[in-house]
Amino acid sequence: METGLTWQSYPPEKLLVERFHIPTGFHPGQRDIIEQLVHGKRILAIQRTAWGKSLCYQIASLYYPHLTIVFSPLKALMRDQCQRCNTMYAIPSAIVSSDFSEEENQATMEQVVAGNFKLLFIAPERLDNAGWQKYVIHMRISMIVIDEAHCISTWGHDFRPHYRRIVRLLSALPKNVPILALTATANKRVEQDVLQQIGEVTQVVRGTMQRPNLHLNVETLIGDQEKLSYLAEILPYYPGTGIIYTATKSSAEMLATFLIQRGINADYYHAGREDTVRQDIEQKLMSNQYKVVCSTNALGMGIDKPDVRFVIHYHIPASPIHYYQEMGRAGRDRKVSWCILLYDPTDVTIQEYFIRNARPEGKYYEMVLSLLRMNAQGLRESDLMLTTGLSQKATRNILADLEEQRFIEHNPKSRTYTAISRLGQMDFSAYDEVRLQKLQELSNIQNYVQCDTCYMEYLTTYLGDEPG
């Protein structure tokens, strides 16, 4: 494998053309980010979907002799990026994920330690894995990338507790190891929270969120009958392939079944389907074998398909940020595409339910803490799920909150949690504040539906652009 290139002999403009086959030059800001990374800086890049955020770390990694670790929340996204790096850009890359057996992941990490890869894609959840703990201390790390960095913030629209584990890794690295945090959806509050997590010395590079090739519209339709009739009428006239987002798994299944019965080539996608089935749907979507895929937000960020021609929301999303993220799947090739929100005021109750139930009730926190206090040797996440009957998501949220408030501590080697001797009660006020903020964001997406200004301007201003 090649060692790091030099800036003088191989400037980024040359790499862009010869290695990445892009003759049109960098977008404003891309080259500067690459140069800052090569000089060991920490960057938070807040740039719109399809701006080319991944290109920044892909090029920067070539100037370093050792490994770049890319933390990503979705396996589909990792598969796509890894394949591109290996087959199109000649960057030796690998994935460690639950798609592979422990033996396969172990073999990959042995090759990583041996220096056979430039890029390693991995989900933050793997940071708790004993195998990861065994090998990471032997990895020569040149750079860290945190994709979808808003997931590290409790104020973000897709907070994931395991993203906080990345902070521990960062604190153990030398200060001159460059860090690139990437997101397309961070308002000022999320931005400040991310900076607090990864370091205040981080430089923020914020670009415009405008997507001028997207045509946005809202259709007020009451009930499934009106929505289904509308879709059956308009879908045959839309060019290309698209995605219809639903708030629930059952709605995705119902909608796909309806469209198939109307002769429209469709399928449904959600986290409840088998991994192999989801991968098959992803591949067929990428090769335009469907007219439309009906999906929960599980499809979301995981598909890097440039020619999605339309994105339709069957239910109102949870916030303007959710909407911008999901509609942003459309028109990544910068060609004209359509984004339609089907608005039924009663659908708001679905999102209200999700927001109010995002965190378990206080009694479940007490149950988990009591179990840990009774088991001095510690318990694993799986032990707690089995004993309490809580879902993995609920258990992880409880453990993350208890750890944050220092009621428990985590042992990464044994992957167990143990109670810390301390007095006092859980402070739920911060979580109540987050819940109220989420309800306000739901109100803001209702304001979007009813706004009398440009829909795109409403969204981009909400995300931090200057009005006008």
Q: pLDDT in tens for each of the 468 residues of the chain?
A: 666 788 988 999 999 999 999 999 999 999 999 999 999 999 999 998 878 899 999 999 999 999 999 999 878 788 888 999 999 999 999 999 888 888 999 999 999 999 999 999 998 888 877 788 889 999 999 999 999 898 888 776 677 778 888 888 888 888 889 999 999 888 888 888 889 888 867 899 999 999 999 999 999 999 999 999 999 999 999 999 999 999 999 999 999 999 999 999 999 999 889 988 998 998 899 999 999 999 998 886 667 789 999 999 999 999 999 999 899 999 999 999 999 999 999 999 999 999 888 888 888 999 999 999 999 999 999 999 999 998 888 898 899 888 888 899 988 778 899 999 876 788 888 778 888 989 999 999 999 999 988 999 999 999 888 886
All CATH 3.40.50.300 domain ranges of the chain, comma separated, are 12-206, 214-353+438-462
Neighbour-count burial of 225, counting CB atoms closer than 10 A to its CB (0-12 exposed, 13-18 middle, 19+ buried)? exposed
**Nearest residue to 151 (alpha-carbon basis) of 94, 198, 91, 106:** 198
Q: To 10 degrees, the CA torsion angle through 253, 255, 257, 262? A: -170
Q: According to CATH, what is the number of the domain 359-427?
A: 1.10.10.10
Asked whether the beta carbons of 365 and 398 are under 8 A apart, the reply is: yes
Assessment of whether the complete model's pTM goes beyond 0.85: no
In this structure, the number of other CB atoms found within 10 A of the CB of residue 289 comes to 13
How far apart are the C-alpha atoms of 177 and 458, rounded to whole Å? 38
Q: According to CATH, what is the number of the domain 12-206?
A: 3.40.50.300
**What is the sign of the dihedral through the CA atoms of 112, 118, 123 and 127?**
positive
Asked whether the beta carbons of 123 and 167 are under 8 A apart, the reply is: no
Asked whether the beta carbons of 57 and 143 are under 8 A apart, the reply is: yes
Q: At what angle do helices 455-462 and 320-327 cross, to 10 degrees?
A: 110
Asked whether the beta carbons of 51 and 334 are under 8 A apart, the reply is: no
**Nearest residue to 121 (alpha-carbon basis) of 159, 92, 98, 93:** 93
- The CATH class of 214-353+438-462 is alpha beta
Largest CA distance in the chain: 65
Q: Each residue of 294-303: b (16+ CB within 10 Å) or e?
A: bbbbbbbbbb
How far apart are the C-alpha atoms of 196 and 383, rounded to whole Å? 32
How far apart are the C-alpha atoms of 435 and 350, rounded to whole Å? 15
For 207-332, strand residue ranges (E) read 214-220, 241-245, 266-269, 292-295, 308-313
All CATH 1.10.10.10 domain ranges of the chain, comma separated, are 359-427
How far apart are the C-alpha atoms of 214 and 332, rounded to whole Å? 9
Tell me the sheet residues that pair with 43.
Answer: 180, 203
How far apart are the C-alpha atoms of 54 and 57, rounded to whole Å? 6
334-to-307, 330, 458 alpha-carbon distances in Å: 9, 9, 20
